[in-house]
Structure 1
Amino acid sequence: MITSSFSGAVYGVNAFMISIEVSIVNGTGLFMVGLPDSAIKESQHRIESVLKQIQYAMPRQRVIVNLAPADIRKEGASYDLPIALSIIHASEQCNLVYLSDYLIMGELALDGILRPVKGVLPIAIEAHKNAFKGVIVPEKNGPEAGIVHKLEVIAVSHITEAIAFLAAKRTIHPIQVDVRKLFETQVGTYEADFADVQGQENIKRALEIAAAGGHNVIMIGPPGAGKTMLAKRLPSILPAFTLAETLETTKIYSVIGRMDNSCGLLPTRPFRAPHHTISDVALVGGGAFPHPGEISLAHHGVLFLDELPEFKRSVLEVMRQPLEDGKVVIARAKFSVEFPANFMLVASMNPCPCGYYNHPEKKCVCSMISVQRYLNKVSGPLLDRIDLHVEVTPVVFEALTSSKQNEASHLIRERVAKARKIQEKRFQDHIELYTNARMSSTMTKVFCPISNTGQKLLQIAMEKLDLSARAYERILKVARTIADLAGNENISELHLAEAIQYRSLDRAGWGK
């Protein structure tokens, strides 16, 4: 007898359907074909133990399990449950009448308990696209799959529950998730708040501009000046997640198994801060069977690189294309995978190896050559993609101990959201363009016109401060965002002047 059941596999951040065909013929042994990995091949021992525990038997004939399509490699233990159910049905030990109506996934413990698996959300979405009646998933994966609209999600904790349900001997009510209510109750709750930050008003202003225009930013300052503390609070002033954005980001976390099983959606924009020892593959994604990297985990959020010059040069250089395109393409000989990577880069660095160059009180012990060598660890092409360069100075004692009530993040976020709406209206005819930072050179000329007086101011700044040519467009984009925050349609000389001061590292001779 040949039996078919269905499961799913993840390819990039999307899923496709896998057909599990089981045939029982004369002979002995169990054979798995269709490019299974080691975890799938080892499932026969888990399945045999489980069948014995629940009073069923592994057939004493030749059992052939085919995972189709046969030319795509399958990995992971999520096929345990559908394979076990297919064997039970094919060996006529139980008639599972609804077996082919549901897409099934789950890892089996030796006693039959189901363990959670990765990639449930994209697989559930694929089940809906293929008109399956529903999905059968481990109990802990239920909330994650339940956010897919108009799909029955049957969450089970033990294989016997799945058998009884598919054999029409037990009723299990589908999980009901009100996605919009869940989204509204969870979105926008942050632990860190700008109300806790004493002083550093100029840095808060720079981060507000960065958040409003989606600009990348680098902070340069001595140790203890508050660079990391400020960076951690940046997500709290970004516009609240839209439902489409949170679903897109949640899919990425689902693929690598980073979801909180008690919640089906990511409640806040991600903040990723990898250590400087990270490898190229861990940052951008990849591997033999490609998985998303840190820049994809920061999708629609913030990627924070602390002590930027300490990262390997090769690691920093692989970010150049994703920063420009908002996606990562991992190419292999037989296939290529695309991961979304639309993130804000926030970096911090010391001005020199000892950290005290240009410090108002402490003396720097580094030579000019070592200072320049340290700064040169960050390449020009990478700096070219960072719009705001902010110098951070230590907070004075009076400001640190002040009882002044600081502006809370939600107030800043309101201004940022207002500026984003202006940009959304401006770019409504341009697909996948939402912020000023993503404007091309042509769009910059169209949307960032300046007066003759502004042109002269910019010319003087370029000549007097020895700004590099790459700073020109960045200044215009930042000035456009400053004007949006002010609610002005035109870019004034005041907006340009403020934008010019955020190009510290472009000044010829900075650090000499």
Structure 2
Amino acid sequence: MIARTFTVAFEGIEAQRVEVQCALAPGLPNFTIVGLPDKAVSEARERVRATLSSMQISLPSKKIVINMSPADLPKAGSHFDLPIVLSVLAATGVIPPDRIETCMSLGELSLDGALVAVSGALPAALKAAEIGCNLLCPKSCESEAAWVGATPVYGASHLTELVKHLIGDMPLQQANPGEIAMPHHVKCLRDVKGQEKAKRALEIAAAGQHHLFMVGTPGSGKSMLATRLPSILPPLSASEALETSIIHSLSGLIGEGGISRARPFREPHHTASMAAIVGGGRGAQPGEVSLAHNGVLFMDEFPEFPRGVLESLRQPVESGEIMVARANAHIKYPAQFMLVAAANPCKCGYLPDPERACAKVPLCGSDYLGRISGPLMDRFDLRFEVPPVQFSDLELPPSGDSSKIVAQRVARARDVQLARLEGTGLRTNSELEGQLLEELATPDDEGKVMLSKAAEKLGLSARGYHRVMKVARTIADLDHSDGVRRPHIAEALSYRVVSGVSN
């Protein structure tokens, strides 16, 4: 007799159905797993043996063969433990074989039979709903998987609980979806003293999902500003939360609480490798650009990142997705994020201060920021300088609007964009291009004249020209204006000029 159950193998963010088959055959006692298993899957037979021994269940003195179909699809990860042991239990008659033929399962086994959390429960639940199966998983994964809501999910802390559930002795309760509450303590823009222009730039960037680049001396507040950007971003919509959480689930970043509506904020160190930033490594795992999908990727000390890492950002910044190409894998991940970069004006950081600057001024500034290529710099919609804050300003009371008030303005501007772009598949002004950009973001006659003169004087590229139009469209939305006018173009151009940086 052959017992069958189902699980999944992951290719990028896609979960591929895998049928786990167990056959008992006459011959010398042996336990074999076939179907392109990796080391973790091959070691499952020892965990299964120890688990069944702890439950006082003896394996038959026969040849046990586990086949995972399709056989040419690589199988990787410890989540294959649970479907393997269930198929063995069905083949030996401990549980009815027909009960697991309509189930999909994933989970890692401890030697005592406890079920350990694994990554990928959310995309597995989506695949289970697609093929019409129930999902069995560790208790710690159930609230994440149940968020899909389209298929029954049953979580257990121990294999014994699942066995009793499958034989009908003690049915498990169907899992309820969980949602992580928004953080109670959110960093507020009013904590930043001064820097009114920088705060305005953050509001524009948040409203239109524009990339921004900050240049300023050490301690001027660049990181402080960047870490407050999430406080003015709207929460994730249901579809955005699903997109983002699938990636985080594959990376094992979702806790027991379930799904979060907070937008991701990723801030990798400048020593991070290319695989860590864009994805790669064993199994072509998602990198920081994908983990920041629908959120913010903050890269402090931007010129200090390796040149190859910086240049690898050009594709996801432009297209909103990243192709991780390796010898044995070609995986496409979504990467629709806001890139926020911060840099000192030079190596020592004190280029504008004659008393503290090094002897290499001004060449050190152009050499330092010159590490960022022109094509990459051209992809930043807003670029501005963050001047140092005077000591006297630190004694002043908080100025400007709070993050709560700014977030309301950002949310209204986003709602306007969603209504305008309904039916196009786009969400924000930063995604406008081609004919749609011309229709929605072309300025009035005075604005056209100003933009043309500025483009010629500043030497804007075609990409830069269009990015000014996109930013101006966002400024107009914040201004409750149906059309793009000269003042909107003027403000957008003011965020295009940074000393020592080409336009």
- Alpha-carbon shift at residue 459 of structure 1 (Å): 3.9
Contact 1:190 1:236 in 2 (8 A): no
Are 1:137 and 2:137 matched, yes or no? yes
Contact 2:321 2:335 in 1 (8 A): yes
| Partner Cα separation in structure 1 for residue 88 and residue 457 of structure 2 | 78
| Partner Cα separation in structure 2 for residue 188 and residue 160 of structure 1 | 37
Opposite residue 446 of structure 2, the aligned amino acid is: T
SS of residue matched to 1:78: helix
- Alpha-carbon shift at residue 319 of structure 1 (Å): 1.1
Alignment partner, residue 246 of structure 1: 241
Alignment partner, residue 472 of structure 1: 465
Alignment partner, residue 496 of structure 1: 489
Opposite residue 218 of structure 2, the aligned amino acid is: P
- Alpha-carbon shift at residue 406 of structure 1 (Å): 4.4
Alignment partner, residue 448 of structure 1: 441
Contact 1:97 1:166 in 2 (8 A): no
For 1:39-91, what per-residue CA distance to the aligned partner results, in whole angstroms no more than 9, with x for missing partners? 11111111111111101012221111001110000011111122112212212
Q: For residues 357 and 2 of structure 1, do their structure 2 counterparts lie closer, same or farther at Cα, with a shift above 3 Å needed?
A: same
| Partner Cα separation in structure 2 for residue 468 and residue 149 of structure 1 | 48
Are 1:43 and 2:53 matched, yes or no? no
Alignment partner, residue 227 of structure 1: 222
Alignment partner, residue 422 of structure 2: 428
Contact 2:379 2:463 in 1 (8 A): no
| Partner Cα separation in structure 1 for residue 184 and residue 317 of structure 2 | 27
| Partner Cα separation in structure 1 for residue 332 and residue 459 of structure 2 | 40
Are 1:409 and 2:403 matched, yes or no? yes
| Partner Cα separation in structure 2 for residue 7 and residue 284 of structure 1 | 28
Contact 1:112 1:159 in 2 (8 A): yes
- Alpha-carbon shift at residue 317 of structure 1 (Å): 0.8
Opposite residue 302 of structure 1, the aligned amino acid is: V
- Count of aligned pairs: 501
Q: For residues 335 and 465 of structure 1, do their structure 2 counterparts lie closer, same or farther at Cα, with a shift above 3 Å needed?
A: closer
Alignment partner, residue 153 of structure 2: 153
Contact 2:237 2:261 in 1 (8 A): no
Are 1:370 and 2:389 matched, yes or no? no
Opposite residue 448 of structure 1, the aligned amino acid is: A
Contact 1:189 1:268 in 2 (8 A): no
Opposite residue 484 of structure 2, the aligned amino acid is: I
Report % sequence identity: 41
Farther-moved stretch of structure 1 (284-293 vs 362-371):
362-371
SS of residue matched to 1:480: helix
- Alpha-carbon shift at residue 424 of structure 1 (Å): 1.7
| Partner Cα separation in structure 1 for residue 355 and residue 224 of structure 2 | 22
Give the 5 Å matches for 1:14-413: 14-28=14-28, 29-95=30-96, 97-132=98-133, 134-177=134-177, 182=179, 186-187=181-182, 191-261=186-256, 263-332=257-326, 336-359=330-353, 362-404=356-398, 406-413=400-407
Contact 1:292 1:339 in 2 (8 A): yes
| Partner Cα separation in structure 2 for residue 409 and residue 128 of structure 1 | 39
SS of residue matched to 2:20: strand
- Alpha-carbon shift at residue 470 of structure 1 (Å): 4.5
Contact 2:194 2:399 in 1 (8 A): no
TM-score, length basis structure 2: 0.95
| Partner Cα separation in structure 2 for residue 19 and residue 37 of structure 1 | 16
Q: For residues 363 and 102 of structure 1, do their structure 2 counterparts lie closer, same or farther at Cα, with a shift above 3 Å needed?
A: same
| Partner Cα separation in structure 2 for residue 243 and residue 112 of structure 1 | 36
| Partner Cα separation in structure 2 for residue 451 and residue 87 of structure 1 | 72
Opposite residue 466 of structure 2, the aligned amino acid is: E
- Alpha-carbon shift at residue 234 of structure 1 (Å): 0.6
For 1:340-387, what per-residue CA distance to the aligned partner results, in whole angstroms no more than 9, with x for missing partners? 100000000011111011248744543333321111100111111101
- Alpha-carbon shift at residue 250 of structure 1 (Å): 0.7
Alignment partner, residue 12 of structure 2: 12
| Partner Cα separation in structure 1 for residue 35 and residue 168 of structure 2 | 31
For 1:385-407, what per-residue CA distance to the aligned partner results, in whole angstroms no more than 9, with x for missing partners? 10100100111223211124542
Opposite residue 225 of structure 2, the aligned amino acid is: L
SS of residue matched to 2:259: coil
SS of residue matched to 1:424: helix
Q: For residues 93 and 377 of structure 1, do their structure 2 counterparts lie closer, same or farther at Cα, with a shift above 3 Å needed?
A: same
SS of residue matched to 2:341: strand
- Alpha-carbon shift at residue 123 of structure 1 (Å): 0.3
Contact 1:480 1:491 in 2 (8 A): yes
Q: For residues 260 and 169 of structure 1, do their structure 2 counterparts lie closer, same or farther at Cα, with a shift above 3 Å needed?
A: same
Farther-moved stretch of structure 1 (220-229 vs 281-290):
281-290
TM-score, length basis structure 1: 0.93
- Alpha-carbon shift at residue 288 of structure 1 (Å): 4.1
For 1:454-475, what per-residue CA distance to the aligned partner results, in whole angstroms no more than 9, with x for missing partners? 2332344345555556432222
SS of residue matched to 2:3: strand
Contact 2:443 2:484 in 1 (8 A): yes
Q: For residues 158 and 425 of structure 1, do their structure 2 counterparts lie closer, same or farther at Cα, with a shift above 3 Å needed?
A: same
SS of residue matched to 2:129: helix
Q: For residues 152 and 451 of structure 1, do their structure 2 counterparts lie closer, same or farther at Cα, with a shift above 3 Å needed?
A: closer
Farther-moved stretch of structure 1 (87-96 vs 67-76):
87-96
Structure 1: 5+ residue runs without aligned partners? none
Give me the CA root mean square deviation. 2.0
Opposite residue 445 of structure 1, the aligned amino acid is: E
Contact 1:189 1:267 in 2 (8 A): no
Contact 1:98 1:168 in 2 (8 A): no
SS of residue matched to 1:338: strand
Q: For residues 282 and 229 of structure 1, do their structure 2 counterparts lie closer, same or farther at Cα, with a shift above 3 Å needed?
A: same
For 1:233-261, what per-residue CA distance to the aligned partner results, in whole angstroms no more than 9, with x for missing partners? 11111122111111111111101111112
Are 1:2 and 2:6 matched, yes or no? no
- Alpha-carbon shift at residue 94 of structure 1 (Å): 4.5
SS of residue matched to 1:504: coil
| Partner Cα separation in structure 1 for residue 487 and residue 286 of structure 2 | 42
- Alpha-carbon shift at residue 333 of structure 1 (Å): 5.4
For 1:320-344, what per-residue CA distance to the aligned partner results, in whole angstroms no more than 9, with x for missing partners? 1111111112234565322110000
